[in-house]
Structure 1
Amino acid sequence: MLTDVVAPPATAAWRAGDPPGRRRWLDLRGPLPLQAGGALPGARLAYETWGSLNPKRDNAILVLHALTGDSHVSGAGGPGHPTAGWWDGLVGPGRAVDTNHWFVVAPNALGGCQGSTGPASAAPDGKPWGSRFPFLTLNDLARAENDLADHLGVDAWAAVIGGSLGGMRALEWTLCQPDRVRALLLLACTAASSAEQIGWCSAQVRAIEADPNWRGGDYHHAAPGHGPHAGLGLARRIAHLTYRSPAELNGRFGRIPQPGENPWQGGRYSIESYLDHQAAKLVGRFDAGSYVTLTKAMADYDAGRGRGGVAAALASVRARTLVAGVAGDRLFPLVQQQELADGIPAAGPLRVLGSPYGHDGFLIETGQLGPIVGELLSR
């Protein structure tokens, strides 16, 4: 039975005591069978919605977040949501995804740490899953969200939209459930992780696992401040260098020392201070176990697995599709989005966002992205 929980559960996957904000919770129907074998019992998804489902039930849009995102796509910060929505410039009343017209749904990915079941959540024995949490694939995440569509009464999504890991999840959604996706927007993502992307992911996972406070993944009972924060911070530093472009980093920081610090005397360059800041922000809001779980799922992704290869999988996509990438993206280079645009029938030409920011441009350049979204939704 699907249960919609309005109040935060006692075993919430984010830190105990955090207010729920706009989140709601859904208990999945029975154990979730996993692609790698076995099943995940007692799984729960956190999600948020904006707008209303119309009587025809044909105005629902699914928005899928990237690696360290969450369900808070739109709206101001406040209790339960320290910052404004991560796509607030794109989703909301009067914006490209106009919530006065569209019913927008954003789940926190299974395996995450912002309300959905993940390694920090309680297993059936009442103890945190920790190292016992199973390996997840993006196929597992999409199938879990299928229960959410059923619960909300959405027979088919008018569109599924995602960038980066969210774009890979969006592609998997339409491959898993072709009859439930009418339109698809794939941003700054790939149909299969490359050797380099697997390598970047591996370096980040190894950084976390090398932290003595990782404790093999069973650190959730440690006293506050004694988790694998150093390893998670290092992983974030590695990742953030792939999120931004060399031109932007050189333009912003160059070789300038951090004010008041001398690198010859143990001080930092400004770029080091910036990376330290990004690391501290993530450590303050994200669970290392979830980071490992979702990073491994991203590295593992291959849309062609079990479908006759990537080309055959892309050729099977029936949803109206637009593909966009970011100029200068060194994490998901444009050649990968070109493969998507070329391989998906009637996807049309690849759209390119001009941006000095690199990969993060898909989050920042909402002014350029708005017309692309508008084209998809008006076709």
Structure 2
Amino acid sequence: MPTQFVHFPENQPLAMDAGVLLAPLTIAYQTYGTLNADKSNAVLICHALTGDQHVANIHPVTGKPGWWGTMVGPGRPIDTDRYFVICSNVVGGCMGTTGPTSLNPATGKAYGLDLPVVTIRDMVRAQAMLIDHLGIDQLFCVAGGSMGGMQVLQWAALYPERVFAAMPIAAAARHSSQNIAFHEVGRQAIMADPDWRGGRYIDQGIKPHKGLAVARMAAHITYLSDEALQRKFGRRYQDREAPTFSFDADFQVESYLRYQGSTFVERFDANSYLYVTRAMDYFDLAEDYGGVLANAFKGSRTRFCVTSFTSDWLFPTADSRAIVHALNASGASVSFVEIETDRGHDAFLLNVPELFATSRGFLEAAARARGIAPKVKSS
């Protein structure tokens, strides 16, 4: 399934929080399923930090299935036989949407760090431009986990009349100091790589693979839990019976992290990693509404389903409860589920039946309220 593109010309710029107008702008996106006659069944999927638009199709770079194939597809909770699913690559990304690898019309070279710093709000404004282009007035649902969940919350706050239902999963209304610190470690690893060249590595035909791999390794640890790591690896050696008394990857967990780092650099851009992590760092929804999160959702008619996981220490349940309390204070319609699992933050990407049941039930109830025709069962 080839990626689709929409190109916005100079006279249709993206107004960015950095105080600049970004133009021209390209948005790369994928769609699945069929838009119904009254355009009431559109679901926007917002991807997480290192995700992209390939949510439910074979990834053209890795050859692997889409990143949320457990949730999106025929017969899945977000059923593409019933809903028209849209997923776009975020601004600042590296899979076709305007980002640091894109051509800067002012120089004729890749933007690199000349691209204005991107925020979650910028990402959502660009998505709104895409939804306008597709002729859709109101989205049936906006859904996503982690950074995707931040975008869901931003959508509900910025365009409440355009979001019928919202599913933020394993997310928070602001990035914590600890998470900003983890991101800074990753960025410094990239910028310390001699091949980073001040962000101009593309012009010189090289890539800071080592720094980006280390950044990925550090981040990947935060996506798991101690219980999951212990269960999966323990202190077992990798292809050996005893330690080598060297700095080789003696332990299975070391080998696993090195593999994660080495495969990541083949599909992701180092400068994009700087941009999307910084976008998460700047996210603080309450700050835009007088420091009161409930004000972000005041008068909202959007239906919310907030989900967290017990072993997620990156975006712990307390973050989701803060969102729920704010929604309750604003009078919004909200349901909340904390799912017990030892699979950590990445649980939203994995086979977690409770997540599927929660999402399916919420969407079914919302579809009835929206008047979307039920799926016709085959005989």
Q: TM-score, normalised by structure 2?
A: 0.90
2:288 to 285, 303, 306: 306
How far apart are residue 314 of structure 1 and its match?
A: 4.3
- Equivalent position of 1:254 in the other structure: 234
1:93–1:99: 8 Å Cα contact kept in structure 2?
A: yes
CA contact under 8 A between 1:72 and 1:106: conserved in structure 2? yes
1:231 to 211, 215, 224: 211
Structure 1 position 373 matched with structure 2 position 359 = yes
Give 1:184 shift.
0.3
Distance 2:333 2:144 in 1: 16
Seen in structure 2, the aligned counterparts of structure 1 residues 80 and 285 have a Cα distance that, compared at 3 Å, is: closer
User: Structure 2 CA distance, aligned partners of 1:308 and 1:335?
Assistant: 21
Does residue 83 in structure 1 map to residue 64 in structure 2?
yes
Shift of 1:126: 2.0
**Distance in 2 of aligned mates of 1:63 and 1:37:** 27
Aligned partner of 1:63 in structure 2 is 45
Q: Distance in 1 between matches of 2:32 and 2:23?
A: 29
Deviates most, 256-265 or 54-63 = 256-265
**Aligned-partner Cα distance in 1 for 2:179–2:336:** 21
Distance across 1 between alignment mates of 2:86 and 2:98 = 18
Tell me, yes or no, if the aligned pair for 1:28 and 1:144 is still in contact at 8 Å.
no
Residue 353 of structure 1 contacts residue 365 of structure 1 at CA under 8 Å; is this kept in 2?
Answer: no
In the alignment, is the contact (CA less than 8 A) between 1:188 and 1:324 conserved in 2?
A: yes
Quote how far apart the aligned CAs of 1:348 are.
3.9
- Which string of whole-angstrom CA distances, capped at 9 and with x for unpartnered residues, describes residues 33-59 of structure 1? 111211211111100001111111111
Q: What is the rounded CA distance, in whole Å, between the counterparts of 1:300 and 1:318 in structure 2?
A: 27
What is the letter of the counterpart of residue 158 of structure 2? C
Whether the aligned pair in 1 keeps the contact of 2:6 and 2:28 (CA below 8 Å) is: yes
Written as runs of structure 1 = structure 2, the 5 A alignment for 1:10-159 is: 21-28=1-8, 30-75=12-57, 77=58, 79=60, 82-124=63-105, 125-159=107-141
Aligned length: 356
Alignment RMSD, CA only? 1.6
State the partner residue of 1:14.
none
The residue identity in structure 2 corresponding to 1:277 is Y
State the Cα distance separating 1:221 from its structure 2 match.
2.0
Q: TM-score, normalised by structure 1?
A: 0.90
Q: CA deviation at 1:81?
A: 5.9
Following the alignment from structure 1 to structure 2, what is the Cα–Cα distance between the partners of residues 183 and 327? Answer: 24
The alpha-carbon distance between structure 1 residues 221 and 164, as it changes in their structure 2 partners (threshold 3 A), is same
Alpha carbons of structure 1 residues 131 and 84: separation in structure 2 relative to 1, 3 Å: same
TM-superposed CA distance for 1:366, in Å, is: 4.4
**Is 1:338 aligned to 2:338, yes or no?**
no
| 2-structure distance, mates of 1:161, 1:338 | 18
Structure 2 unaligned segments of length 5 or more: list them: 366-379
Q: Which residue of 1 aligns with 2:350?
A: 364
SS state at 1:342 partner: helix
> Which of 259, 269, 272 matches 2:254?
272
Identity %: 38
